[in-house]
Amino acid sequence: DTITREAPRQATGTAEFDAIVIGAGFSGLYQLHLLRDRLGLSVRVLEQADGVGGTWYWNRYPGARCDSESHSYCFSFSEDLYKEWEWTERYPEQPEIMRYLNWVADKLDLKRDIGFNTRVTACRYDAVANRWQVTTEGGETLAATYLITAVGCLSTANVPKIPGLESFQGHWYHTGQWPHEGVDFSGLRVGQIGTGSTGIQAVPVIAAQAKHLTVFQRTANYSVPARNGPLSDDFKAWTKENYRTIREVMHSTPNGHPFVISDRSCWDVSAEERRTLYEAAWEKGGLQFRATFRDLLIDKEANDTAAEFLRAKIREIVKDPETAAKLADIDHPYAAKRPPIDTEYFEAYNRDNVSLVDVRSNPIERITPKGAQLRDGTEVELDIIVFATGFDAMTGPLLRLGITGRDGLPLSEAWAAGPRTYLGLQVAGFPNMFTITGPGSPSVLCNMPIAIEQHAEWIADCIAHLRAKGIARLEPAPEAVDRWVEHVNEAAHATLLPQAGHSWYLGANVPGKPRVFMPYAGGMARYRQICADVAAKGYEGFVLS
């Protein structure tokens, strides 16, 4: 009914806009601001949740916190906005990010153009009208010239199909769909499946409350201490005084973080000096550990030196040698999967109420009414199962929108063998549809707000160009898509990232999903330049008509 009040309607009952944006997280909020307030377009944002926040709306699991440092995990397009908000801790916790995004949405008066509780079920391109027709679960129909997906990369929960789950008499939860009222673990036996970034954040918090926590680990993982803590007044003042410099650094580094990757090779220093540098990075904590040497992600032997340092730390922290051995038995290069950072993760295994089960050697065969039945016949009795099992990443959120392009081509068919985009921003056969942080963009390999701001600004500039020149539609030429897919592949294979064969970057965590390295590993700064060049050359590689 908000739509009836605010949007012009045709006799057909379809609400008409210049642009429809799907999702009200970081991406959707900024895209709305740019298109509405800078370009003067009529825009409707459709959001399935009852509030803004995107990933932070859904991921309310115990310990949910961002791994990017707070002074970099925010919008930086506006100096005023940047300086007005005050973060409290080195890494912002989920409720604080929600407060921040609500503050931004109110400050920029964005909520009036967002339809909450509105799940999109179909998006169909009407070639005759050159309009996107969007249908929602509630039966609304809307249409717009431009369709922008701002649905994030990690918003489709992956719950493994373990036989017997329906028979479980306790409760189970996926971390990405956590109940708003929270879960009380007091006095209960909890089983957690998954030891990715999410699982590693959740373990110590659940362990502190539960009667017993059993962690089911399929792939052991590295982690570096986050060294979280309150921000000092001096640091807060420093970030404000150095807004420009911080932004420049974030725009110039491959990963959009506010720190510079060392220009030193791991082989430029002696073994002793290397150890001292790793030790200093370990003490400093955070994702920055990866930046100790420039070749950690491209030279396997260099990576081995970091990997062995981190394995030794696990063996040092975890007192039970058998548990330590299982935790340190890591089968992939450091940071080839998204590297987690933690607060007392390995330390949690020293508690009497935490145990580790290696489900690679002894898998869960089925869930029983009472718990988890392992292959060796053991039944682990549980009251609660926590699935920290990740997401159908990057393509999942887009494919569930029911998108159909020119000539009735479903996106699921166009991407049957894996996602194919130009710059991660557009798909051939889907005119005027833009995907923020789509597959083929650096997005998840970058500090997200930095990637998102670039994508949303590029899209707004592109739409402004189309309107100024009276161009009705834009879509990538198939050859440009071929070249970009090839380039994305080359960029991935120039690094060690594809060597983690089970990573979600490859879609390998979802059974049956095509194995394609999805994000662009060539670096955000390089990507920014490529996108700017494409625009400067009159949108080279796109067909404009």
The β-bridge partners of 542 are 476
Q: Report, in Å, the least distance between residue 159 CB and ligand N01.
A: 9
- Look up residue 391 and give its two tokens: 């997401």
* Residue with smaller CB distance to ligand N01, 405 or 449: 449
Distance CA 380, CA 368 (A): 9
Identify whether the C-beta of residue 488 lies closer than 8 Å to the C-beta of residue 440.
Answer: yes
* Residue with smaller CB distance to ligand N01, 388 or 491: 388
* Residue with smaller CB distance to ligand N01, 360 or 465: 360
* Sequence-ordered list of residues with C-beta below 8 angstroms from that of 486, at least 6 positions apart, any chain: none
Cβ-count burial 469-486 (b if 16+ within 10 Å, e if not): eeeebbbbeeebbeebbe
Q: Report, in Å, the least distance between residue 448 CB and ligand N01.
A: 8
* Residue with smaller CB distance to ligand N01, 372 or 427: 372
* Residue with smaller CB distance to ligand N01, 206 or 444: 444
Concatenated DSSP letters of 39-53: T---EEEE-SSSSS-
Distance CA 283, CA 300 (A): 24
Residues written for the chain:
545
Q: Report, in Å, the least distance between residue 422 CB and ligand N01.
A: 24
Q: Report, in Å, the least distance between residue 465 CB and ligand N01.
A: 32
Residues at the site binding ligand N01, with contacts judged by CB under 6 A: 66-67, 154, 160, 193-199, 201, 216, 218-219, 338, 359, 388-391, 444, 502, 504, 509
Helix (H, G, I), strand (E, B) or coil at 455: helix
Around Cβ 115, how many Cβ atoms within 10 Å? Answer: 23
* Residue with smaller CB distance to ligand N01, 46 or 496: 496
Distance CA 390, CA 446 (A): 18
* Sequence-ordered list of residues with C-beta below 8 angstroms from that of 161, at least 6 positions apart, any chain: 511
Q: Report, in Å, the least distance between residue 510 CB and ligand N01.
A: 9
* Residue with smaller CB distance to ligand N01, 147 or 193: 193
* Residue with smaller CB distance to ligand N01, 421 or 509: 509
Distance CA 153, CA 398 (A): 9
Q: Report, in Å, the least distance between residue 160 CB and ligand N01.
A: 3
Distance CA 61, CA 458 (A): 33
Q: Report, in Å, the least distance between residue 447 CB and ligand N01.
A: 10
Q: Report, in Å, the least distance between residue 158 CB and ligand N01.
A: 7
Sheet holding 171-174, edge to edge: 171-174, 384-387, 189-193, 212-217, 354-358
Q: Report, in Å, the least distance between residue 390 CB and ligand N01.
A: 2
Comparing C-alpha atoms, which of 89, 3, 1 is closest to residue 43? Answer: 3
| Amino acid at site 178 | W
Distance CA 150, CA 30 (A): 10
* Residue with smaller CB distance to ligand N01, 149 or 197: 197
Q: Report, in Å, the least distance between residue 146 CB and ligand N01.
A: 28
* Residue with smaller CB distance to ligand N01, 201 or 303: 201
Q: Report, in Å, the least distance between residue 81 CB and ligand N01.
A: 21
* Residue with smaller CB distance to ligand N01, 227 or 240: 227
Distance CA 245, CA 16 (A): 42
What is each CA distance from 174 to 156, 167, 223, in whole angstroms? 11, 17, 22
Residue with tokens 């005084």: 241
